[in-house]
Amino acid sequence: MGKKYLLKLFLCDDSDRNNTIAERLKLGLEEHMQNSYNYDVVVLLNNPKIAIEKRIIVTPTLEITCQGRMKRVIGEVSDVKKVLEIIKQF
């Protein structure tokens, strides 16, 4: 069994721009990572306590967790190819 990734995308709100980012990332994950991930989108406007608990001060932020390790991609996550490369190196 291969690695299983937990990916959480933290967005400030559910604007059209942010929804497009979330959807593009989801499509890229579906195409390139098949069943090796779980993907969640967290809108911080609806869950402000999470921003404090997770210490998220910049959005979008993608949190990647795998085998007890965690890494964050902060800021520009709309370049799906670049994000996938970061995940593969993790």
At residue 76, the pLDDT reads 82
Among 22, 2, 24, 20, smallest CA distance to 10 is for 22
Domain range for 47 is: 1-66
For the chain, how many structural domains are there in total?
A: 1
Distance CA 74, CA 56 (A): 9
From first CA to last CA, the distance across the chain in angstroms is 17
* Within-domain flag for 39: yes
Give the chain's mean pLDDT: 93
Nearest to 87 by CA among 24, 18, 3, 1: 3
Q: What is the pTM of this model?
A: 0.92
Sign, CA dihedral 41-80-82-29, equals positive
> Which band of pLDDT confidence, cut at 50, 70 and 90, is reported for residue 78?
confident
d(CA 27, CA 42): 17
Q: What is the pLDDT of residues 12-23, one digit of tens each?
A: 999 999 999 999
Q: Is residue 84 part of a domain?
A: no
Instruction: Tell me whether residue 34 is in a domain.
Output: yes
Instruction: Provide the CATH number for the domain around residue 12.
Output: 3.40.30.10
